[in-house]
Amino acid sequence: MPSVDWLLSKKPIIAMIHVGALPGTPRATESPNALERRAREEAEMYLSAGVDALALENMHDIPYLRGSGGPEIVASMTRIACALRRLTDKPLGLQLLAGGGKEALAVALAAELQFIRVEGFVFAHVADEGYIEACAGELLRYRRMIGAEAIAVFADIKKKHCSHAITADQDIVETAHAAEFFLADGVIVTGRSTGDPADLDELRRVKAASNLPVLVGSGVTVDNVHEYLPHADALIVGSTFKQQGHWARPVDASRVEKFMRRVHQIRQS
């Protein structure tokens, strides 16, 4: 069983590193060296400000393919993940868009990461890249096959950027129960899209109903973090750390520092 003690000990802030567009994707312009260097620089800014953990995501690879793309994507993310692993012993995680759970596990194993984030773990939904089927059975068998049982799988429920009309009779609490039954190591509650705040009532209901760690995966800012931290086991934070609060812009060290000062105030209160 994966250990999530690091997550439960202090309600960690997990800072997002949105790596630059990877080779072969429509917006790719940077060399592998430049991609690694920029990810490392952002990680150093986060670590200097006192974040508790880091997560990588290939969000600039728009438009996404169902699955992780080709071997060039996996190779690039492995290189960057290994570079960050050498940089810090703090918890590290990864998501590969879109729906690249198996590939993310392989990267995480190679780079000695602590967790991956997956979409479509239970039930199916329609995402902007197409129809996404549930992956829990195949993913956890693959985790067992490659000996990656130490890597936690955190599952988005009622995932952002998706239509859930085909499962409209299953509310978010029932989806959380299904993820727990299918052996997720944690569930992630989000808003409707990147940067949108999660519904506080949904967060409270999932937390009350689930035995799993519950993470918030979008929309946390310096102005609302006091509302989310008491009810969540961890916060995944990206957009608010960027210039003008937009996910695609560079990390703004002053915004990270201001956010973490507020978190420390809340923790001490």
Q: What is the pTM of this model?
A: 0.93
Q: Which residues in the chain show pLDDT less than 70?
A: 68, 125, 129-130, 159-169, 193-195
What does the pLDDT read at residue 162?
Answer: 53
Classify 84 as helix, strand or coil.
helix
Q: How many CB atoms lie within 10 A of CB 133?
A: 11
What does the pLDDT read at residue 165?
Answer: 61
What does the pLDDT read at residue 144?
Answer: 98
Pairing of strands 162-163, 125-127: antiparallel
d(CA 121, CA 184): 8
What does the pLDDT read at residue 166?
Answer: 58
Residue 165 structure tokens: 């009309």
* CATH code of the domain containing 57: 3.20.20.70
Residue 159 structure tokens: 């995932």
What does the pLDDT read at residue 104?
Answer: 97
What does the pLDDT read at residue 98?
Answer: 87
Q: What is the pLDDT of residues 20-69, one digit of tens each?
A: 999 999 999 999 999 999 999 999 999 999 999 999 999 999 999 887 67
List, in order, residues 6 or more apart from 38 with CB less than 8 Å away: 19, 20, 30
What does the pLDDT read at residue 194?
Answer: 63
Can you give the residue range of the structural domain that contains 252?
5-268
Q: DSSP per residue over 178-207, as a string? A: HHHHTT-SEEEE--SSTTPPPPHHHHHHHH
Q: How many domains does the chain have?
A: 1
